[in-house]
Copies of this chain bind each other. A is one copy, B any other.
């Protein structure tokens, strides 16, 4: 299948590599191809530059956002939360009728806002939108002809494509969206990644909870200790 991954960060790379391993034709989208390839320093999260990484994956093509989306039937959005709506709106025509799986957290990385929660990488950002709206709903409103699914966002970047690395894979992935066929596509992809417990939370409004879970996710990560991988399992009773 032809799958576009928009974004070149750590999360995007995990999907790109896994999708290529699974035999898909992967087209990566970035804002400015030359700028992305010219970068030689790690980004603010410590992620190494994309150029050398791409050189190690010769089957993967790098394009603009528009060209990557144009070439594919299924699109994974890994554009950071602050820029996603603007960047996706600019290529709305290329996304028409397609499924877009979004996993961004709408973190506010504003150095003028004082965040009280020190983290291993500095301070804890806040979310915008939050509670009364979600990034996924904003994207769906901006792209009414695209089928938006929220997924992946409750799981670490490294293990979202390798759930079996934790507890033998016995933990839960959540999805939400308005379009049943798009959620089936997302579920098929997750099954190929190794997920056995995919819980459909219903309409896209559930993305609010999925995005707001970011703080719990961070707190759990800090509590377990940096570098400890984890997932959460919905344990069903009667």
* A224 on the B face (CB < 8 A): yes
Copies assembled: 2
CA distance A159 to B176 in the complex (A): 26
* A193 on the B face (CB < 8 A): no
Given contacts A131-B131, A154-B216, A210-B219, 5 further A-B contacts (CB under 8 A): A131-B212, A166-B236, A166-B237, A167-B236, A209-B218
Q: Which B residues are in CB contact (< 8 Å) with A72?
A: none
CA distance A220 to B172 in the complex (A): 11
Nearest B residue to A156 by beta-carbon distance? B237
Q: Which B residues are in CB contact (< 8 Å) with A210?
A: 216, 219
The residues in A between 217 and 238 inclusive whose CB is less than 8 angstroms from any CB of B are 217-220, 222-224, 228-238
Q: Which B residues are in CB contact (< 8 Å) with A201?
A: 219-220, 222-223
A42-53 near B? 1/0 per residue, CB < 8 Å: 000000000000
CA distance A137 to B231 in the complex (A): 27
Q: Which B residues are in CB contact (< 8 Å) with A229?
A: 236-238
* A208 on the B face (CB < 8 A): yes
* A171 on the B face (CB < 8 A): yes
Q: Which B residues are in CB contact (< 8 Å) with A70?
A: none
Contact yes or no, A165 B238, CB < 8 A = yes
Nearest B residue to A114 by beta-carbon distance? B132
Contact yes or no, B209 A216, CB < 8 A = yes
* A67 on the B face (CB < 8 A): no
* A38 on the B face (CB < 8 A): no
Contact yes or no, A219 B206, CB < 8 A = yes
